[in-house]
Amino acid sequence: MEGQPVPLRQRTTLRTGGVPTLYVEAGTENHLIEVVAEHDRAAGLLRSDGTQKIDNPSAWHSVPTASESSEQGLLVLGGGSNLVVADKPFSGTVVTDTRSDLLVRGHDRDGRVLVEATAGTTWDDLVSHTVMQRWSGLEALSGIPGTVGAAPIQNIGAYGREIGDNLVSVRAYDRLTGEVVSLSRRNLALGYRDSVLKRSLHELEPGGGRTWKNTGRWVVLSVTLELDEDRLSAPVRYGELARTIGVEVGERAPGDEVRAAVLELRRSKGMVLDPSDHDTWSAGSFFTNPILSKRDADEVLPFKAPRFPVQNSDRDPLEGKVKTSAAWLISQTGFEKGFGLTPGAQARLSTKHVLAITNRGEATSDDVVALARAVRDGVEEHFGVRLEPEPVQVGLTI
């Protein structure tokens, strides 16, 4: 159904965003696909038979982007938690998948339960359900805002775990071909907060000859995960979490205890949504942790800078690379908790965690962008490391 054209700031956790031309709530898979396909036809991206208007996909330089083909845009909106949206009117279609279904698909050859969740399902509702069912694997990802459909795009992760650890496949609508496809974990080429789904937003090769901007080439319909049927969690990989629970790194603990500890830690950092707490009016961690070669890390990072082992990526081998802490770099540059560009600034770093940019009530998208640029540029000037924004940028560039 079509909803009221309210500003997107009412549908995003950072509380920014203008009024869309059209807002649609899709309650079925077919409806969701129809809305996306109709937008693409109206934008001149599809022929009437549903096929893409690309005669020579290898001629990437000559193919217009999805946003250049029409003034209209398309935004498939989940929980609105990983977005920075411009306050100007959004000249296009916003569609939300309202489905929230979960289906047990049986077991794999190793005896793990296969669970398929529709894209509109709230991520933490899924995690809570799996913990209650004593299905192990997702408990460390408790409290992450957003929906199941957004999770593989970003390869969400926290406390030493990523969705990729349990991901089997993604069922998606391919806007390039007009077909519903199944993408295996290998197809998704997962990396640190990255996937081929995300890269199709801005890169020509995964986009099939064009970039797709606000919503990528593939619209996620459902996600299938494999989980152990065990009341104990997956091995705890993160030191802070292990200390909170009272176990050693690598040990396991009851899944419900791990979930409770993760929620406690996230709340202490303003990372669990609370309408009454402006520290949670954010897009979560605003910058990804930089991954550097060991040589670059030795050259630009002081000895005391955090250095973490880097999990191997499906996209690129990460041997010989080091991950450091964006939060540490920000703090050491001199940006403190609660920092704002002016005394009365409405966009400020969280008072609980410097990695989050928060809206203190009346911040505009321009305010957020200005603060993000100041932090990014300050860290680069001080350390020679350029921080990369994690949220998707809609109608603006940081």
Q: What pLDDT is attached to residue 49?
A: 59
Pick the residue with more confidence: 138 or 5?
Answer: 138
**Coil/strand/helix, residue 84:** strand
Q: What pLDDT is attached to residue 69?
A: 38
Query: Which of 22, 19, 21 lies closest to 88 in space, CA to CA?
Result: 19
CA 150: distance to chain centroid?
6
Query: Which of 258, 289, 290 lies closest to 143 in space, CA to CA?
Result: 258
Q: How far is residue 335's CA from residue 378's CA, in Å, rounded to a whole number?
A: 9
Predicted confidence band of residue 320 (pLDDT cuts 50, 70, 90): confident
Do residues 357 and 287 touch, judged by C-beta distance below 8 A? no
Q: What pLDDT is attached to residue 71?
A: 45
**Coil/strand/helix, residue 163:** helix
Which one of 29, 139, 162, 390 is the catalytic residue?
Answer: 390
Under CATH, to which class is 102-268 assigned?
Answer: alpha beta
Which one of 11, 193, 210, 259 is the catalytic residue?
Answer: 193
> What pairing do the DSSP bridges indicate for beta strands 392-394 and 20-26?
unpaired
Q: What is the DSSP letter of 50?
A: S
Triad 339, 344, 347: Cα angle to 5°: 50
Q: Which strands form 20-26's sheet, in the order they lie side by side? A: 20-26, 90-97, 73-77
**What's the CATH fold of domain 8-97?**
3.30.43
**Coil/strand/helix, residue 252:** coil
Q: How far is residue 367's CA from residue 294's CA, in Å, rounded to a whole number?
A: 35
Say how many C-beta atoms besides its own lie within 10 A of residue 398's C-beta: 17
- 105 forms bridges with which residues in the sheet? none
- What does the pLDDT look like over 329-369, one tens digit per residue? 999 999 999 999 999 999 999 999 999 999 999 999 999 99
Give this prediction's pTM: 0.90
Active site residue 193: yes
End-to-end CA distance of the chain: 33
Q: For 278-289+325-394, CATH number? A: 3.90.78.10
Active site residue 390: yes
pLDDT at 381 over 80: yes
- What does the pLDDT look like over 13-34, one tens digit per residue? 999 999 999 999 999 999 999 9
Query: Which of 136, 129, 140, 161 lies closest to 233 in space, CA to CA?
Result: 136
Do residues 183 and 218 touch, judged by C-beta distance below 8 A? yes
Triad 240, 241, 245: Cα angle to 5°: 120
pLDDT at 81 over 60: yes
Active site residue 285: yes
- Residue 250's region, left for phi above 0, alpha for psi from -120 to 50, else beta, is left
Q: Where are the domains of the chain?
A: 8-97, 102-268, 278-289+325-394
Which spans in the chain are helix H?
A: 29-42, 123-132, 151-154, 185-188, 196-199, 239-245, 255-268, 294-300, 326-333, 365-383
Pick the residue with more confidence: 78 or 2?
Answer: 78
Which one of 142, 195, 233, 285 is the catalytic residue?
Answer: 285
Q: What is the DSSP letter of 265?
A: H
Q: Which of 44-58, 84-98, 143-157, 258-272 has the lowest mean pLDDT?
A: 44-58
pLDDT at 66 over 50: no
Q: What pLDDT is attached to residue 262?
A: 98
Listed in order, strand segments (DSSP E) in the chain are 20-26, 73-77, 83-85, 90-97, 102-107, 113-118, 135-136, 157-158, 161-162, 167-174, 179-184, 218-229, 282-285, 291-293, 321-323, 347-349, 356-359, 392-394
Q: How far is residue 388's CA from residue 108's CA, in Å, rounded to a whole number?
A: 37
Angle, helices 326-333/365-383, rounded to nearest 10 degrees? 80
Say how many C-beta atoms besides its own lie within 10 A of residue 205's C-beta: 11
In 117-137, which positions are buried (b, 16+ CB within 10 angstroms) versus exposed (e)? bbbbbbbbebbbebbebebbb
Q: How far is residue 344's CA from residue 336's CA, in Å, rounded to a whole number?
A: 16
